[in-house]
Structure formats: structure tokens, C-alpha cells
Amino acid sequence: MTGNLFIVAAASGTGKTSLVKALLAADPRIALSVSYTTRQPRPGEVDGVDYHFVDEARFLKMLEEGEFLECAEVHGARYGTSQRRVENCLKTGDDLILEIDWQGAAQVRNLMPAVISIFILPPSIDTLARRLKTRAQDSEEVIARRLNAAREEMSHVAEFDYVIMNDDFQAALEDLHAVIRAQRLKCDRQLAQHQGLLNSLK
């Protein structure tokens, strides 16, 4: 039985990365697909753990060779997901999360219609602006650009299967975990997992 593939998307500053990290820490049955990016590492980020940080030339070579399941340009940097990594992980039966934007989500849906997509919303644009300023990682100009991009990102929310409001972090984490558990409990997956029991009833 192949694993479940999940997409988690959100506007920058919504708390998507923190939620995914908390989910991974609590659930050993799910892994994160580490994306490739041409942007510079932020403080505390580790190459190969948070992202595979590569230069523009290497990224474009990988793109030309068809190595990406999806790729997009966000805030002036390129991001891409390794197709080989995704396929290998799912073949083992492990669940996998892609932490990508709406553009990448649309590409993955076209190639893998069974993907489960989740969008994380902030309580308001004002709250999102405060979170971006509190991070103290970007200039006012960059924050304004990110807020404009956030409006564009959130305009695609209706394309996703599930929507979670990150107003209270713990509640949002529980909602995210609920989506993962519900997918694992679908009838076809449970029948495949417990085939031995069902065969004994015949």
C-alpha cells in the first residue's frame, strides 16, 4: 500500500512551517519532502533539513533534466520538489508532506490527483502583518511585498480540500493532525491494511 501525499500551503508568516514541524515531531509515520531553493538560508536553517540550498545554475539544470515534480518562483527565489524523493517515499508506504505554494499545489494535483491538499489561513491580514514584523527577518519593503503576495496566495484557498485557521496554534495543530488521521482511516486504506483479518472471516 502506498503512502498518502499531503500538501500544506499558506501565505508567508501564517505559521505553516511551525505547524508542520510540530506535526512531524508528534507523528513518526509522516515525513517532510525537503524542497530545493535558490534563496539564501534564514538564521537557524540547515541545508538538507529545512531546504536543499542550491544556486540558480544547479536549479535550472535540475529543471531541464526533469527532476522536479513541481517548481515555482516565490518572492524572487525558485523552489522545487524532487519527484524521485516523493515517489520513493510513497512506495515504502510512508506518508509525506509537501510544504509548497498554490502554484506548486496546482502542478502536483495535475500529476497526482489523489493528493490531499490543506491550506492554512491567518486570522486576518493585520495579524499576518504583525507576525511578519515580529519575525524581524525582513525590511518594511519586503514585508509589504509579502503581504501583497499573501492576498494572492489566499485568493486560491477554494482550490484546496481542507482549510485550517491558525488563530490558536494548538487548535490548528490538532486540526492538521485530524486531517492526517481521517485520511488514514478511509475505508480503502483500512481494508488494505487489515486484509488478513477480513480474509479470516470468509
Neighbouring-strand partners of residue 119: 9, 163
On the question of pLDDT at 137 being above 80, the answer is no
pLDDT surpasses 90 at 202: no
Each residue's pLDDT tens digit, 157-180:
999 999 999 999 999 999 999 999
- pLDDT score recorded for residue 195: 82
What pLDDT was estimated at residue 88? 92
pLDDT tens digits for range 67-112: 999 998 887 899 999 999 999 999 998 899 999 999 999 999 999 9
pTM: 0.87
Buried b (16+ CB within 10 A) or exposed e, 43-59: eeeeeeebbbbbeeeeb
pLDDT above 70 coverage of the chain, percent: 98
Please write the tens of the pLDDT for every residue from 3-33: 999 999 998 888 999 999 999 999 999 999 9
Average pLDDT, rounded, for the chain: 91
pLDDT in tens, 43-57: 899 999 989 999 999
What pLDDT is attached to residue 140?
A: 80
Predicted local confidence at residue 139, as pLDDT: 78
42 has a pLDDT exceeding 80? yes
pLDDT exceeds cutoff 90 at 113: yes
Query: What is the distance between the alpha carbons of residues 88 and 163, in angstroms, rounded to a whole number?
Result: 28
Outline where 72-200 has alpha helix (H).
Answer: 83-91, 102-111, 125-135, 140-154, 169-184, 187-193, 195-200
Is the pLDDT score of 191 beyond 90?
A: no
Q: Is the dihedral of CA 17, 19, 20, 26 positive or negative?
A: positive
